[in-house]
Amino acid sequence: MSNCLQKVIGFQFNFLYSSNVKKFPYIIKRGQVMTQLSYKSANELAKMVLDKEISSSELLEYFIKRVESYNPSINAIIVKNYDEARKQARELDEKLLKGEILGALHGVPMTVKESYGVKNTPTTYGRPDLKDNIVKEDALSIQRLKNSGAIIFGKTNVPFNLADFQSYNDIYGTTNNPWNLAKVPGGSSGGSAAALAAGLTGYETGSDIGGSIRNPAHYCGVFGHKPTWGLLPPRGHALPGSLAQSDLTVIGPLGRSAKDLETGVLIMGGPDEIQSAGLKMDLQRSEKKDLKEYKIAAWVNDDIAPVNQEVQNRVLKVAKTISDSGGEVNFEARPDFDMLQAMDTYQSLLLPTMASRTSDDEYNLLKEKLSKLDPSDTSESAYTLRKQTSSLRDYNNANNDRTHLRWKWHEFFKRYDALITPVMATEAFDHNHLNYGERTIMVDNDERPYFEQVFWAGIAIASYLPSTVIPTGLTEEGLPIGIQIIGPEYGDLKTIGLAKLLEKEGYNFIPPSNYPD
């Protein structure tokens, strides 16, 4: 490498691999974009390990060094699993020297959301009463990731009970957005997205019931995928004693490229052991190779849950990219049902599901409040309380309504390949630790209810639809904005396929500049 090129690229470090000394530039040139090693995708990192440009152990130590340098200000990684990770990395290096490759993530160091069971680490859901809950075995998805060669070296922060658009709790404190520490990283997979955006980890996986993968991906400028419900078995991503998959909740990957999302779905997806005698995963991939082949519906804004002009502009921008490429975009197309009723159905499923996570004392308090509620009270808090404590009959009726919605979506996606919409009402907002009922969000100078934003997440969640978030660049204030691509049930590789095409058009991960090597 010439001295001139070394100056352009930045600087080099020496890595030891086996008995040979190799030089590897921490910064490489991809077209016109300079990409640090820490900001490469998981698939790129895996290829480097397989090509013996860097060892698993060296890559792990590299990320550990970054965590020790930058995590204190961000507080994304709150459980460290270094010793076990180092042991695993050495074993992977030995296997590779023998020509053995475990899978697509061989040698990639990664962190996972705190709510995943990882052997000998705490899983608390941010709840002080569970601070001593040390898990005895890996969740199924963690087993599958490890079997693919991933190295789990830490866990990332969450909000209390995984129930917020922010990520803070009394055990681990507050996680900050790497782009602006005064802003939220999202929730409940906020630590996951923050760690990825700051280049503290090679890969991540989170969970979503009300946007908990998607809003952090949006706020932090990374890729995220909420899978079709049940496609990725969540066994082991649970509170103590919980084994049944809860309604609405899914687990899913976050990464710095769309391909990373596809890799995560294929690794973690497929039936659990109890189903495997009769079921297998056989997802259809998109046959479309160019944006001009797509017929897309675009939902830019809605009076039910208004979004600011900047977010609207990003949906319009993506739509224009598709139409300029020759694709068809329809801004009026919607499934054939009343959206207000659909959101009521979603809340009728979401709120009792979330209430099921509470302790006996917390739930009894809800019932006590209900007993004192004025029957004529139609406030938002009264609505929420009634849904939280609703009966099995109420739930089954809502499930029946949801099934009608699923069939309406099925018909809709016979006409359109995907639907693009906002993820949240705004870019990342300032930390706000007020009581839920006291919080609001400013949308273009209009003060709106805080949880109104769950509308955009609920579009996909309520009907089990997959949704892929892609970054669309930064605002003038330097904050990321993402949009979501929603598709038909089990169309996960189709929404990710469209994301991969849009990534080639410039909708890619942009790293923050304040976390250099």
Residues forming the active site: 113, 188, 212
10 Å CB burial of residue 513 (0-12, 13-18, 19+) is exposed
List CB contacts of 158: < 8 A, sequence separation 6 or more.
113, 114, 115, 125, 126, 167, 169, 187, 188, 189, 190, 191
Contact call for residues 208 and 214 (beta carbons, < 8 A): yes
What is the sign, positive or negative, of the torsion defined by CA atoms of 497, 499, 505, 511?
Answer: negative
Query: What DSSP letter does each residue of 114-161 carry, written as one string?
Result: TTS--TTSB--TT-GGGTT-B-SS--HHHHHHHHTT-EEEEEE---GG
Distance, CA of 60 to CA of 92 (rounded, Å): 12
Query: What DSSP letter does each residue of 7-72 carry, written as one string?
Result: HHH--EEEEEETTEEEEEESEEEETTEEEEGGGS-HHHHHHHHHTTSS-HHHHHHHHHHHHHHHHH
Distance, CA of 473 to CA of 221 (rounded, Å): 7
Measuring CA to CA, which residue among 179, 230, 226 is closest to residue 207? 226
Instruction: Give the SS3 label for residue 111.
Output: strand
Distance, CA of 318 to CA of 141 (rounded, Å): 32
List the structure tokens of 43.
């698939």
Distance, CA of 517 to CA of 509 (rounded, Å): 18
List the structure tokens of 32.
């016109």
Measuring CA to CA, which residue among 317, 305, 343 is closest to residue 458? 343
List CB contacts of 484: < 8 A, sequence separation 6 or more.
214, 218, 420, 421, 422, 423, 456, 460, 467, 468, 469
Distance, CA of 221 to CA of 512 (rounded, Å): 9
What is the sign, positive or negative, of the torsion defined by CA atoms of 41, 431, 116, 208?
Answer: negative
Distance, CA of 234 to CA of 270 (rounded, Å): 11
**Dihedrals φ, ψ of 265, to 5°?**
-60, -45
